[in-house]
Amino acid sequence: MTEGKPLLEIEDLHVSIEGKEIVKGLTLTLHAGEKVAIMGPNGSGKSTLTYAVMGHPSYEVTGGSVKLDGEEILGLPADERARRGLFLAFQYPTAIPGVSVANFLRSAVNARREEEMPVRDFRRELMDQFKLLEIPKAFAGRYVNDGFSGGEKKRLEILQMAMLKPKVALLDETDSGLDIDALRLVSEGINRVAGEETGVLLVTHYQRILNYVKPDVVHVYMDGRIVRSGGPEFAHELEEKGYEWIEKEVFAQAQEG
């Protein structure tokens, strides 16, 4: 699974917000079909990482490199990164009153393509994804996230991912605010959509979503850096012990250094 050229290569990335450095030299790779989890305490800068990689203008990249399928993308605006196959699922999806889900998705799909998808083909694809992800067809006529529950918002994010078919999906705390049933449905959707060609970078506080979306690698992210890494079992250890023991180890190593 991890053989060959990575889809996403982040090397020595530094990111600042209003002059304060948040990401402090992060390096990681993500291959096709691979699921990589980034875990860490609140305020450690995990979401900053995903927003900076996606190209949010409020986040200043002061050093490093981000390559998508071998191409440096740091000089590209967010929409160009999306066209090249980068996707970000937000922790707090925005409501867009007056814009139906179907029209929103068709605009997004056509923006990604060189030629506009015929309406008949788009509708067929949308209905197929509704069935695959077990989403009611009535979603198509509703306004984007307007009056949606937390679970419905997150399922719509996965539907967008399914329709856009990205090379790399950045999932920023997709489990946030979900009850047990919604978490299961959203996780099943991620597994169905990701497949063997999409790389998934999943940011989360908790281990619970990793019971459903099994990661190949788990990184612990603190103070703007990856400080520990392990396999799927590492997430269970973190759930049991918390992050404090790692913070103490990192602090002790810094003192020795």
**pTM, two decimal places:** 0.91
Domains of the chain: 8-88+165-256 (3.40.50.300)
- pLDDT digit string (tens) for 169-201? 999 988 888 888 889 989 999 998 888 889 999
For residue 194, give the nearest of 175, 221, 166 by alpha carbon: 166
Q: Are 197 and 115 in contact (CB under 8 A)?
A: no
- pLDDT digit string (tens) for 90-123? 888 999 999 999 999 999 999 988 899 999 999 9
Q: Are 183 and 201 in contact (CB under 8 A)?
A: no
All residues at 6 or more sequence positions from 17 whose CB lies less than 8 Å from its CB, including other chains: 48, 58, 59, 60
pLDDT value of residue 2: 55
User: 128-132, 202-206, 253-257 — which is least confidently predicted?
Assistant: 253-257
Number of helices (H) and strands (E) in the chain: give both, helices first: 8, 12
Beta-bridge partner residues of 9: 29, 67
Mean pLDDT, residues 134-162: 93
Instruction: Please report where in the chains the tokens 């196959």 appear, as a residue.
Output: 85
Rounded to 5 degrees, what are φ and ψ at 118? Answer: -55, 145
All residues at 6 or more sequence positions from 79 whose CB lies less than 8 Å from its CB, including other chains: 111
Q: Are 7 and 199 in contact (CB under 8 A)?
A: yes
